[in-house]
Amino acid sequence: MIYVMSDLHGCFDKYQAMLEKIRFGKDDLMYILGDIVDRGEDGIKILLDMIKRPNIVPILGNHEYMAYTVLEKMNVEITQDNYDNHLDTVSLRNYDNWMFNGGETTLNGFLSLNKASRKRILEYFEEFSLYEELEVNNNSFVLVHGGLVNFDENKPLSEYELYDLVWGRCDYARTYFKDKYLITGHTPTALIDEKCRGKIYKENNHIAIDCGVVFNIALGCICLDTMEEFYV
């Protein structure tokens, strides 16, 4: 079976509970639509678990992008050649912005790792895709963390800017594709429609799956073979 969930935000226990609930096995496939890290405590712990599971496919969220941008810059050895310029103004601004967006838990988790694990985390971030396109049971799906800003039906996904996919938000009142479902995280479903609080939003060929687990609402997961929804 093929599943999708999103916006775990460091909620390791809920992540684990969901995998148990759906009896996630070696023959299944799970797409996680980003924002695995930040705000909650255990983003790094989730990443270390995901790394061990080749049947979990990570898609980039804005929080991974912020984390990677800072950690990759920080994770260099200070030498005589770089000691006075390795953190420039842009890097410090990126750091500030990440902390403002709940990055402290992820930073602490990263700093508690040994050198080899830090390297593995940074390599893993580089494996994240920006989007996926799938065909399951004659249904077509586009998977992306945020949205499709500057949408054009005929524009290939590869031509969207990173910002449009990762930070952008969908207009959920608008049907983007007549013949495809667009699956997104990033925007808690309660903010799309208060009636959908804690539930997956399905309207206008959208499937929005961020049910706000880090705000103590719920973690949602959808099975693309059956369209069955799961919650913990």
CB of 165 to Mn ion, least distance (A): 11
CB of 223 to Mn ion, least distance (A): 23
In the complex with Mn ion, which residue's Cβ is closer, 24 or 42?
A: 42
DSSP letters spanning the chain: -EEEE---TT-HHHHHHHHHHTT--TT-EEEE-S--SSSSS-HHHHHHHHHT-TTEEEB--HHHHHHHHHHHHHSS---TTTTTTSS-HHHHHHHHHHHHTTTHHHHHHHHTS-HHHHHHHHHHHHH-BS-EEEEETTEEEEEESS--SS--TTS-GGGS-HHHHHT----TTS---SSSEEEE-SS-HHHH-GGGTTS-EEETTEEE----GGGTS--EEEETTT--EEE-
Residue 186 interacting with Mn ion (CB under 5 A): yes
Interacting positions 146-175 with Mn ion (CB under 5 A): none
Residue nearest to Mn ion (CB): 186
CB of 63 to Mn ion, least distance (A): 6
Residue choice 6, 62, 105, 189 for contact with Mn ion (CB under 5 A)? 62
Residue choice 61, 102, 188, 212 for contact with Mn ion (CB under 5 A)? 61
CB of 163 to Mn ion, least distance (A): 12
Q: Which span sits near Mn ion by CB under 5 A: 31-39, 44-52, 169-177, 212-220?
A: 31-39
Residue 6 interacting with Mn ion (CB under 5 A): no
Q: Please report, as ranges, the residues that interact with Mn ion according to CB under 5 A.
A: 35, 61-62, 186
